[in-house]
Structure 1
Amino acid sequence: MTPLVVTELVLALLVLLVVGALTFVWARRRFISGDGRPIMLCARRDDPVGRWRLGLARLGADRFEWFSIVGPSLRPEVSWQRGELDLGTPEPLADPIPGLADPVAVRGGTKGSMCEFAFAPAAYTAIRAWLESSPPGYNVNVA
């Protein structure tokens, strides 16, 4: 084989890998939000001085789930029950997070595991409204 053919094969393989990776990211995102549940960008960090990890937050009927933005897993990395999740007050975030415009930081979690979230202001409003509304079937016999 000539060097030109080898170069063409290597370039074709690289293009195929890039297209395959982009297709996987697109398909994973479609799968995560496939059944029409709201999904939004959200950063999370466990340590107040640690680095932010960008991910996807998904709201279900009774769960708040967080997926890493990159990775092969179709399962949430962390999940909280709706009735157990507690979010603090939002504070403007000075650190820029790529993908989040003017993010607000919120301390939240359950009694045993606390972490810090960063949302776009509109996403925080949506999560707060979801959190404060009644889950389906909760207190249905209230008159």
Structure 2
Amino acid sequence: MEWLTISELGVGAVLLLVFGLIGFLWLRRQLIGNQGPTMLCAIRTPTAKIWRLGLLRFGPSALEWFSFGGPSLRPAKSWQRRGVEIGIPQPTDELIPGLTDPVRVDLRSAGERFELAMARGSHTAVRSWVESSPPGSHIDIT
């Protein structure tokens, strides 16, 4: 084979891989979004120093966070609605790729503390989801 043919095959294989990966991520995003409203969100735990970008989905009874680039269709983190305590949004000067003008919100659930960073308007959606729990549910909003 000529070197030109081999290089063309190599470039074709790389392009096929790149488009396949983009297609997979798009399909995964569609499958996650079909089961409830989703939004772009970053998470940081007290032990972590960096923000991890992902998708936040509002389920009927749980708030679910999916890693942005992972292959799994299962949430990496899940918090039951009854146990979620949401704090006041605070502006953040930190650069979080993918989020423009983000706010940081402290959350607590089942003794676990963590922070979510999201677009300013998205905080309203999270707060509404927590406050709209079924009648008789315990809600603690600070």
Query: In angstroms, what is the RMSD of aligned CA positions?
Result: 1.5
Q: TM-score, normalised by structure 2?
A: 0.91
Structure 1 residue 80 corresponds to structure 2 residue 79: yes
Q: Show structure 1 runs of 4+ deviating over 4 A.
A: none
Cα 1:49/1:68, change in 2 over 3 Å = closer
Percent identity of paired positions between Structure 1 and Structure 2: 46
Question: SS at 1:83's partner residue?
Answer: helix
What are structure 1's unaligned runs of at least 5 residues? none
1:126-141 aligned at under 5 Å gives the runs: 126-135=125-134, 138-139=135-136
Corresponding position of 2:90: 91
Distance 2:48 2:58 in 1: 27
In the alignment, is the contact (CA less than 8 A) between 2:46 and 2:113 conserved in 1? Answer: no
Q: TM-score, normalised by structure 1?
A: 0.91
Deviations 1:77-135 (A, max 9, x none): 00000010111111001102121111110111313211111011111101101101123
What are structure 2's unaligned runs of at least 5 residues? 138-142
Distance 1:71 1:100 in 2: 19
- Number of residue pairs aligned between Structure 1 and Structure 2: 137
In the alignment, is the contact (CA less than 8 A) between 2:41 and 2:53 conserved in 1? Answer: yes
1:1-143 aligned at under 5 Å gives the runs: 1-35=1-35, 37-47=36-46, 50-135=49-134, 138-139=135-136
